[in-house]
Copies of this chain bind each other. A is one copy, B any other.
Amino acid sequence: MTEQQKPEEMTIEKRRLRMWLRMLRTTKSVETRLREFLRDKHDTTLPRFDVLAALYRAEDGLKMSALSKQLLVSNGNVTGIVDRLVSDGLVKRIMVENDRRSTVVCLSSKGRKNFLRMADQHAMLIDGLFSNIDDTDLNVMADIFARLKQKEDAHEQIG
């Protein structure tokens, strides 16, 4: 709504809103490119990739509840996604000792190999999409995102 206004004429509230809309647009656009890449090169989806990535980071596996919490991209039908990954042999369910009612899910060795192959190409794709973002920019953004995360963590402790 305010795209035409010059930044120096805008209130800080409007500038923050504009920045948010641009960040949202950038994120959506990168997500679209990732979806295309996963579909065209690996015949898979962003939610599946995301589940594999979360399980790769958790070496001892995750309870389903912890997995849902960690997912970055979409936690739509996590159970359905995990069921499919298990039947494809990429993920396995393991009983937790001393707690018969609960299981954790973790990558199989096939799942690990499969993920690492995709992750390498995923990193290259992201590197290409952000190739005009240099070290100085990355330092500034790391600082900004760290401050936002601090603020959010403080909110969660209060909330």
Contacts and interface: CB of A to CB of B under 8 A. Distances in A.
Size bracket of the A interface: 35 or more
Interface stretch (A37-45, A86-94, A140-148): A140-148
Given A57-B1, A123-B13, A133 B26 contact: no
Nearest to A134: B12
Nearest to A11: B127
Given A57-B1, A73-B24, A147-B132, A19 B127 contact: no
A127 to B, nearest CB: 4
A15 B133 CA distance: 10
A149 B20 contact: no
A139 B8 CA distance: 10
Given A7-B139, A19-B133, 12 more contacts: A12-B135, A14-B123, A16-B130, A19-B142, A22-B142, A22-B145, A25-B145, A26-B145, A26-B149, A137-B144, A140-B140, A141-B141
